[in-house]
Amino acid sequence: MLETLKDRRIIITGGASGMGEGLVRAFPGLGAEVVSLDISERQGREIAEESKAQFVQCDVADQQSVEKAVAQAVDTLGGLDVLIHAAGIAPGGAAEEIPLETWNRVMNINATGTFLTNQAAFRYLKDDGGQIINFASAAGVQGLKNKAAYSASKGAVIAWTRTAAQEWAKYGVTVNAIAPAIWTPMYDKTRASMTAEQLAAHDAYMATAVPLGGKLGDVERDFVPVMAFLSNEGARFMTGQVFPIDGGTLMMR
């Protein structure tokens, strides 16, 4: 994949951890100019510096913060070709026990954050076209037990993505989403919190739930190449889609 993103100007939110971090670390090596946005300044800046990217602090749930950060990122990049909106949270809990505070926080970061970052990026993409890639989830398609707020927020992301794709197509702006199932440090923490019995049951479930390999995918091997393609001009004729990167778990139709 040498230079597959040569000269592409890309903003990546959520760049201080997880899949966002994986993209910030990988994309400069593929030729892209990258600005990472995240609320966690110290970690985000360190990752960006290590990866030869730039960093701007941003709270994706705050309109003023988003507009300022995106403007600064675009100025740094000298324009914009791609927004990848990876920032999000996924607290759990039984549906009947979710506090309103938690519901609002999840919706503000995951759903409103998508709305705000997409709108801000669109202002810089509408003249020359470009690509927006949002992070959805299988949870937003088929639900996920003990993740009702998260599932609802990702359902909103999917509906927003498909609608914005229709409205912004006339400007040459594509809007797609991915539904990833990728192994991250957060997943390591989840596994570490399980008892031996719970972990054995979980791994047995994953062995059947993920047809390709029986476990979550690898960031560098399974995730980055797909995101590089979706961030390239070769993906310009696809919009309003949800692309699972999950080993065949979701099998979208």
Cα dihedral: 90, 252, 32, 132 (round 10): -80
Show Cβ contacts of residue 149 under 8 Å, excluding neighbours closer than 6 positions.
Answer: 91, 93, 98, 102, 103, 106, 107
**How many CB atoms sit inside 10 A of residue 219's CB?**
20
Q: Which of 124, 150, 171, 187 is catalytic?
A: 150
Handedness of CA 232, 238, 241, 247 (dihedral sign): negative
CB 89 within 8 A of CB 106: yes
205 is catalytic: no
Which positions are annotated as active-site residues? Answer: 150
